């Protein structure tokens, strides 16, 4: 796939554990080759306890840009020189830019989400959102949606020990971005139904419906045709939630292309160039 490696070939990579299953190397190497950029992207298996040395290697080798997977997204932060606004707000880094030894952490996960729903015909700016779940993926998309001008965000979260932490996190994002964000108990069906009536988009950021799980996080009768339904799950491509959304007449999208657009945003930060997304979509997805 890589045309040739020379003495001037620049190095980019993925740090994660496991790392070998990732499609990121195929995506970025396809883009480098298409655009004639003398660079290669490799996957490195890095565990959390190795992150300090791995970041030191970025400066020493040097590696010009790095992507990170969980749990390195938070563990890497103390070893970087600066953070983007979205990274600082979400406490998560999935992209490092090495500018002559000065390492800045960015997060493109949320950008991947907003770009993928925009591509499917829904604009986050000015929208009222309902988000199910409050884990890493939800945090990134809530921050990016608030930055991009969502009118209001409702976050449905299970009433367990971490409910208060989610409230504190969302209050902080709300204060810093000016976007009202309210955390609500997922168990209150009546509240969920009335909130969905008010929302333009429903986002499933829980694993409910993933793989062989035939459950849906939202009763079908709560859905109405005005809703755009986004499920971050991409296996299966048609989750029980999306199947219900389709039957009800909602527009919908799955999580398949969130990764594509997240990678495209990393590529732009590193090279200043637009990833040839249609070619990458055709070759790698």
Give contact residues for ligand NAP (rule: CB under 6 A): 133-138, 157-158, 160, 162, 186, 205-208, 210, 217, 232-234, 255, 258-259
CB-nearer residue toward ligand NAP: 107 or 127: 107
CB-nearer residue toward ligand NAP: 2 or 167: 167
Reply yes or no: is the peptide bond before residue 231 cis, omega within 30 of 0: no
CB-nearer residue toward ligand NAP: 162 or 194: 162
| Residue from 18, 74, 73, 9 nearest 43 by CA | 18
Q: Shortest Cβ distance from residue 67 to ligand NAP (Å)?
A: 12
Please answer whether residues 133 and 162 qualify as being in contact, where contact means their C-beta atoms are separated by less than 8 angstroms.
no
Q: Shortest Cβ distance from residue 262 to ligand NAP (Å)?
A: 7
Q: Shortest Cβ distance from residue 159 to ligand NAP (Å)?
A: 8
3-state secondary structure of 171: helix
- CA-atom Rg of the chain in angstroms: 19
Catalytic residue among 73, 125, 157, 246: 73
As a whole number of angstroms, the distance between CA 283 and CA 285 comes to: 6
Exposed (0-12), middle (13-18) or buried (19+): which is 262, by Cβ within 10 Å? buried
Q: Shortest Cβ distance from residue 106 to ligand NAP (Å)?
A: 16
Q: Shortest Cβ distance from residue 166 to ligand NAP (Å)?
A: 7
3-state secondary structure of 252: strand
- Answer yes or no: 73 catalytic: yes
| Residue from 50, 85, 82, 60 nearest 68 by CA | 50
CB-nearer residue toward ligand NAP: 98 or 195: 195
Which residues share a beta bridge with 83? 105
Please answer whether residues 128 and 198 qualify as being in contact, where contact means their C-beta atoms are separated by less than 8 angstroms.
yes
- Dihedral of alpha carbons 190, 195, 197, 200, sign: negative
Q: Shortest Cβ distance from residue 243 to ligand NAP (Å)?
A: 16
- Interior/surface letters 55-86, b for 16+ CB within 10 angstroms, e for the rest: bebbeeeebbbbbbbeebbebbbebbeebbeb
CB-nearer residue toward ligand NAP: 44 or 163: 163
CB-nearer residue toward ligand NAP: 39 or 43: 43
Q: Which positions are annotated as active-site residues?
A: 73
């Amino acid at each position: 796939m890589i045309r040739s490696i020379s003495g001037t070939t620049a190095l980019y990579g993925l740090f994660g554990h496991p790392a070998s299953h990732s499609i990121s190397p195929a995506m970025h190497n396809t883009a480098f080759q298409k655009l004639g950029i003398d660079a290669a992207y490799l996957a490195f298996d890095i565990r959390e306890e190795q992150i300090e040395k791995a970041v030191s290697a970025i400066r020493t080798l040097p590696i010009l840009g790095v992507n990170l997977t969980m749990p390195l997204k938070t563990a890497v932060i103390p070893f970087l020189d600066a953070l983007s606004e979205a990274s600082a707000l979400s406490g998560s880094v999935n992209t490092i830019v090495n500018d002559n030894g000065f390492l800045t952490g960015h997060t493109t996960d949320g950008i991947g989400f907003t770009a993928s729903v925009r591509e499917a015909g829904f604009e986050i700016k000015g929208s009222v959102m309902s988000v199910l779940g409050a884990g890493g993926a939800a945090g990134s998309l809530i921050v990016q949606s608030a930055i991009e001008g969502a009118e209001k965000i409702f976050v449905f979260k299970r009433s367990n020990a971490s409910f208060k932490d989610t409230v504190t996190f969302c209050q902080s994002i709300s204060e810093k971005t000016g976007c009202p964000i309210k955390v609500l108990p997922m168990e209150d069906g009546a509240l969920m139904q009335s909130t969905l009536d008010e929302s333009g988009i429903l986002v499933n950021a829980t694993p409910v419906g993933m793989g062989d799980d035939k459950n849906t996080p939202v009763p079908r009768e709560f859905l109405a045709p005005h809703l755009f339904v986004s499920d971050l799950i991409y296996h299966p491509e048609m989750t029980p939630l999306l199947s219900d959304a389709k039957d009800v007449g909602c527009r919908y999208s799955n999580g398949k292309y969130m990764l594509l657009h997240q990678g495209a945003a990393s590529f732009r930060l590193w090279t200043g160039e637009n990833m040839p997304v249609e070619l990458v979509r055709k070759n790698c997805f």
